[in-house]
Amino acid sequence: MKTAPQLTNDIVSNTKGHTSVSDGVLISLRRIIQSIDLHSRQLARQHGITTPQLLILKQLQGETAITVSQLARQISLKQATVTDILNRLERKGLVRRSKDTGDRRRVLIEETAAGKKLLDAAPSPLQETFLEKFEELEIWQQSMLLSSLQLLATLMVEEDISAAPILSTGVLTDKVKLTYENNMTRKEKTG
């Protein structure tokens, strides 16, 4: 297992002419985005569902019927988002909604036989594959990665991320390049 400085040197030296750590960070982010995008496209092509749909089906697997709000809490998504995903899953016949017999105001969600069959054939979500590898890391490496990702998430949420398209998998347009250059110039002036 490589040490943090060795990993940093590998990232910086693998940037093909780019030598700054910030370039290495952006390239690593782009690789993560591409990996997620590839996995999502393969899942959609092979099984006709999206990653969020798969995660909801996985969460419902083996559960007794639960409410949308319970499901949203369990998977850390907003209830409105979960409702939209459930609507699509219900149209595909993968989940069913029913009124709670004890409280007719409550709507319960459960997977259908078709949903169970799809889960049996679908691959593990990317998160599960990642977590298996993550668990093999030393505890200090896990803590360092968690801390770095929390900081990165804070930077991306709190900072003006108008240069974010650079992290996408598409072609860099002149407008995006100009925006990036303007942001870099502005940062250089402010210190």
Using one digit for the tens of pLDDT, what is the confidence trace for 162-182?
A: 333 233 344 334 444 444 455
Residue 29 lies in a domain: yes
Residue 146 lies in a domain: no
Residue 149 lies in a domain: no
| Average pLDDT of the residues of the chain | 78
Residue 107 lies in a domain: yes
Any idea which of 14-28, 57-71, 88-102, 150-164 has the lowest mean pLDDT? 150-164
> Is 94 found in the same domain as 109?
yes
pLDDT digits (tens, 9 = 90+) for 127-141: 788 889 999 999 999
How far is residue 24's CA from residue 9's CA, in Å, rounded to a whole number?
9
Residue 76 lies in a domain: yes
> Is 35 found in the same domain as 97?
no
Return the number of other C-beta atoms located less than 10 Å from residue 72's C-beta. Answer: 20
Tell me the backbone φ, ψ of residue 106, rounded to 5 degrees: -85, 135
> Is 76 found in the same domain as 115?
yes
Torsion of CA 142, 144, 147, 150, to 10 degrees: -70
Residue 155 lies in a domain: no
Residue 6 lies in a domain: no
pTM of the model: 0.60
Number of domains making up the chain:
2
Q: Which residue segment(s) compose the domain that 88 sits in?
A: 50-121
Return the number of other C-beta atoms located less than 10 Å from residue 39's C-beta. Answer: 16
